[in-house]
Amino acid sequence: MNVFIERTKEEKTLSFSGTAQALLESLGINPETVLVLKNEVLVTEDEQLEDNDEIKILTVISGG
């Protein structure tokens, strides 16, 4: 799974299968502060993610 984290502009390649919430927890990201796109589609925290998905984690907080 390719994961792009917008706030830090990091790109990671992970082996992961589980919910979006579980992914965020494994990355130490508070779900309150982000939205998750799966293959360019906005999904909820209970969405199941698979290894071949392209994931973007977008920040929702104001930048200043």
Partner 1 sequence: MSNPARCKTHFIEQFEKRAWETIERFDLIQEGERICVAASGGKDSLALLHILSKKYAVDALSVDEGIPGYRDSTLDDLREYCADNRVNLRIVSFEDLGAEPLYKQNPAHPCSACGVLRRKALLDYTIEYDLVATGHNLDDEAQSIMMNLLRNQQHLLARLGPRTAARDGVAARIKPFYLTPEKEIRAYCILQGITSNFSECPNIVKSFRWQVQEALNTLEREQPGSKLNIVEEFLSRTYTEEESNLRCQECGGPSSSSLCRACQIIHAS
Calculate the alpha carbon distances from 36 to 4, 20, 52 in Å: 10, 7, 15
The CB-of-62 to partner 1 minimum distance in angstroms stands at: 7
Among 7, 14, 22, 27, binds partner 1 (CB under 8 A): 7
Q: Is 62 in the site for partner 1 (CB under 8 A)?
A: yes
Element (H, E) at 10: strand 10-13
Q: Count H helices, E strands: the chain? A: 1, 7
Q: Is 46 in the site for partner 1 (CB under 8 A)?
A: yes
**Chain residues in the site for partner 1 (CB under 8 A):** 6-7, 30-33, 35, 37, 42-46, 58-64
